[in-house]
Chains A and B, each alone.
Chain A
């Protein structure tokens, strides 16, 4: 009975924590879907988002969630700049070259954050009453649920729903999806693909700000923490289907639930292995992932 209860607890924890990873991965999948580039720097941008939340909290005592009203627009502008300065000049072999360019961006961000005069290499963590005080959780049905996980899951759902409407219910969304399906054809029918790409990259980076805030509430991080993150984010978008927002959310939840349950039932050492074994099986059946590109674009 206690074992079943623990497993149920991990299913709930996995679903809630999945929201955090969905936030972090959604920008990655959106950027790939529209621009056909793999933003290896997304992990570093997430960490940068965490640092921005930290700055606002430490220096101006701004609540973590309210701070997103500042950090997300700021990161959006940064995304526009990165796209203009580093991505747009790539005219050939965009997918391959983008890996190198965005990795360089990750190194620049890591190096800048790690300077003695900025943050150095200290681990930092985000705090709030709903994160780590003794009142940071509530009980329901015998399960103790942390407020922060609930808040982040709600934020994640709201942002992804908003993004869904932007992509599928607005004029900009039509242009965006046209660019996703065929950049050349979209240009021929009058879509300003470069503008769409820039805005998409900006949105993807802005989502990293929210993801960074959420990540920073669960784990202490430093400028080098993006290395562990990016591999997990890539796995999420591959499982969910590269380019699919719905896929990012579902894959995040699937990954976290499988890993968390395996961890408590068996051992944490096998948690990732079991997930990857399942990933291989799913990809054998559905090489395009759960909500692969074709299906994702028909939504």
Chain B
């Protein structure tokens, strides 16, 4: 009996060893090879892999990111390609799941054998995705994984082309503190998802405002999977805060606004980390443009009228492809487009798809031009050249209001008018 058991065990060990050897052989033959150096005459398309969220919490943003990546690929392909080759996107859906996003990048790298990887949407998904890319020596250029925790893990392969997330609300804090003392709100309420994208922004703003003398009337952190937002909104209302800073996505900010309207609570200023930047989707969710009046949203450096490299072309291409108006374009589109622009310039600089060289290039201190403005990476992969703006809904348009030097900046509407 015991002999039979050990015989089976031995067979199992032999089988495992054989499978391991085969896997090792496959990897050695290129299964885990990070990109390639172009061979003369190679005209096959360059494959770029990305995982995006087409369902779940980040589905709106995932769709916008896909549009951004696709617009960039279309532009490159119609202008001679990258290194003279056409670009082909390989985009798979992760359903906003941290498990699925890892599986997707494993597949993109090992099965689909993509040449380059672009990032997913959100800090939450970028963290596990970048670990997979790092394991196989791939650079991960991304536009929406800017939470501080992404850059504190010692990874060399991650590069965020957007404004570091924690600095998103700095412009708002600066604006509030720059108000004349007689107008400056005395209290602020903060509510944020426990999300690495939203919470660092809110915490930075809180720190700055407290230093500037704005007292915290309420501070709440809530789970991202929350479906009943009433008690959170009620606590803000009960605090009577003059300013509300919401670390939200579209579903929660629209629920907050509904509750504020029902309870006749109208703060002097209301800003949300995300949601108001989603154009017509935001307007539909809150029941029309009058309800959006004077609501603010931070901006990581892009808006339709921005005078940045390639922006006018991107806006035109977007409208031709997807219709609507320029104000309907989500800033996610520009973030994704910028990812492509940086990848294009860096790959062109080194003349190769070798990811090891690409990582060195991106760490070289070179400055890249994008629709979001300048991009220059520090040693952790954060963009040190990005400029934050503050935007506000005014008469159905989302307009820049701060700093006053921004292209097309208008006078801020403060205090916020009452709900319609």
Which residues of A come within 8 Å of B, CB atoms? 2, 5-6, 9-10, 13, 17, 110, 114, 120-125, 127, 131-134, 136-137, 144, 146, 218-224, 227-229, 232, 256, 259-261, 263-264, 267-269, 271-272
What CA separation (Å) do A249 and B222 show in the bound complex?
A: 25
Q: Contacts A124-B285, A219-B227, A264-B231 given; 13 further ones with Cβ under 8 A? A: A17-B228, A114-B59, A123-B251, A123-B254, A127-B287, A132-B286, A134-B264, A222-B60, A224-B96, A259-B228, A263-B232, A263-B235, A268-B220
Given known A-B contacts A125-B285, A133-B261, A222 and B231 have beta carbons under 8 A apart: no
Are the CB atoms of B223 and A124 closer together than 8 Å? no
> Nearest chain B CB to A1's CB is how many angstroms away?
12
Are the CB atoms of A264 and B263 closer together than 8 Å? no
Q: Which residues of chain A are within 8 angstroms of B33 by Cβ–Cβ distance?
A: none
Task: List 30 A-B residue pairs with CB atoms under 8 Å apart, sorted by A's residue number.
Answer: A6-B234, A9-B234, A10-B234, A114-B55, A120-B63, A121-B55, A121-B63, A122-B63, A123-B250, A123-B251, A123-B254, A131-B258, A132-B258, A132-B286, A133-B261, A134-B420, A146-B262, A218-B255, A219-B251, A220-B250, A221-B251, A222-B60, A224-B55, A232-B227, A260-B231, A260-B234, A263-B235, A268-B223, A269-B194, A269-B221
B interface residues, how many (CB within 8 angstroms): 45
What CA separation (Å) do A219 and B258 show in the bound complex?
A: 9
Q: Which residues of chain B are within 8 angstroms of A269 by Cβ–Cβ distance?
A: 194, 221-223
Main SS class of interface, A: helix
Q: Which residues of chain A are within 8 angstroms of B225 by Cβ–Cβ distance?
A: 228
Residue-wise interface mask of B (286-301) relative to A, using a CB-CB cutoff of 8 A (1 in contact, 0 not): 1100010000000000
CB-nearest residue of chain A relative to B291? Answer: A132
Are the CB atoms of A219 and B229 closer together than 8 Å? yes
In-complex Cβ contact of A224 among B59, B230, B255 (8 A): B59
> Nearest chain B CB to A102's CB is how many angstroms away?
18
Residue-wise interface mask of B (234-265) relative to A, using a CB-CB cutoff of 8 A (1 in contact, 0 not): 11001000000000001100110110011110
> Nearest chain A CB to B255's CB is how many angstroms away?
6
Q: Which residues of chain A are within 8 angstroms of B63 by Cβ–Cβ distance?
A: 120-122
5 A-B pairs with least C-beta separation: A121-B59, A268-B222, A224-B55, A263-B231, A260-B231
> Nearest chain A CB to B75's CB is how many angstroms away?
22
CB-nearest residue of chain B relative to A268? Answer: B222
Are the CB atoms of B231 and A267 closer together than 8 Å? no
CB-nearest residue of chain B relative to A224? Answer: B55
CB of B419 within 8 Å of the partner chain: yes
Are the CB atoms of B285 and A2 closer together than 8 Å? no
Are the CB atoms of A223 and B285 closer together than 8 Å? no
Q: Which residues of chain A are within 8 angstroms of B285 by Cβ–Cβ distance?
A: 123-125, 220
Given known A-B contacts A121-B62, A220-B250, A260 and B230 have beta carbons under 8 A apart: yes
Are the CB atoms of A224 and B227 closer together than 8 Å? no
8 Å CB interface, B61-78 against A: 62-63
In-complex Cβ contact of A6 among B56, B223, B238, B287 (8 A): B238
Given known A-B contacts A123-B60, A146-B262, A223-B55, A228 and B227 have beta carbons under 8 A apart: yes
Q: Which residues of chain B are within 8 angstroms of A263 by Cβ–Cβ distance?
A: 222, 231-232, 235
Q: Which residues of chain A are within 8 angstroms of B230 by Cβ–Cβ distance?
A: 13, 17, 218, 260
Are the CB atoms of B228 and A137 closer together than 8 Å? no
What CA separation (Å) do A136 and B291 show in the bound complex?
A: 14
> Nearest chain A CB to B196's CB is how many angstroms away?
15
Given known A-B contacts A127-B287, A264-B234, A267-B221, A110 and B227 have beta carbons under 8 A apart: no
> Nearest chain A CB to B232's CB is how many angstroms away?
6
What CA separation (Å) do A261 and B235 show in the bound complex?
A: 10
> Nearest chain B CB to A272's CB is how many angstroms away?
7
Are the CB atoms of B262 and A224 closer together than 8 Å? no
What CA separation (Å) do A80 and B56 show in the bound complex?
A: 28
Q: Which residues of chain B are within 8 angstroms of A268 by Cβ–Cβ distance?
A: 220-223, 226, 231-232
CB-nearest residue of chain B relative to A226? Answer: B55
Given known A-B contacts A222-B60, A227-B56, A13 and B234 have beta carbons under 8 A apart: yes
Are the CB atoms of A122 and B60 closer together than 8 Å? yes
Are the CB atoms of A224 and B250 closer together than 8 Å? no
CB of B186 within 8 Å of the partner chain: no
Among B60, B228, B251, B291, which residue has the most Cβ atoms of chain A within 10 A?
A: B228
Q: Which residues of chain B are within 8 angstroms of A132 by Cβ–Cβ distance?
A: 257-258, 261-262, 286-287, 291
What CA separation (Å) do A266 and B255 show in the bound complex?
A: 21
Are the CB atoms of B56 and A13 closer together than 8 Å? no
Are the CB atoms of B231 and A271 closer together than 8 Å? yes
Q: Which residues of chain A are within 8 angstroms of B255 by Cβ–Cβ distance?
A: 218-220
In-complex Cβ contact of B262 among A17, A136, A267 (8 A): A136
Are the CB atoms of B194 and A121 closer together than 8 Å? no
Are the CB atoms of A125 and B254 closer together than 8 Å? yes
What CA separation (Å) do A219 and B228 show in the bound complex?
A: 8
> Nearest chain A CB to B64's CB is how many angstroms away?
10
Are the CB atoms of A144 and B228 closer together than 8 Å? no
What CA separation (Å) do A223 and B55 show in the bound complex?
A: 7
Q: Which residues of chain A are within 8 angstroms of B263 by Cβ–Cβ distance?
A: 137, 144
Are the CB atoms of A13 and B231 closer together than 8 Å? yes
CB-nearest residue of chain A relative to B55? Answer: A224
Among A9, A10, A220, which residue has the most Cβ atoms of chain B within 10 A?
A: A220
Are the CB atoms of B55 and A123 closer together than 8 Å? no
CB of B153 within 8 Å of the partner chain: no
What CA separation (Å) do A125 and B285 show in the bound complex?
A: 5
Are the CB atoms of B231 and A220 closer together than 8 Å? no
> Nearest chain B CB to A234's CB is how many angstroms away?
14
CB-nearest residue of chain A relative to B420? Answer: A134
CB of B3 within 8 Å of the partner chain: no
Q: Which residues of chain A are within 8 angstroms of B194 by Cβ–Cβ distance?
A: 269
CB-nearest residue of chain A relative to B288? Answer: A127
Q: Which residues of chain A are within 8 angstroms of B257 by Cβ–Cβ distance?
A: 132
CB of B317 within 8 Å of the partner chain: no
What CA separation (Å) do A153 and B228 show in the bound complex?
A: 16
> Nearest chain B CB to A260's CB is how many angstroms away?
4
Are the CB atoms of A267 and B286 closer together than 8 Å? no
Are the CB atoms of A136 and B235 closer together than 8 Å? no
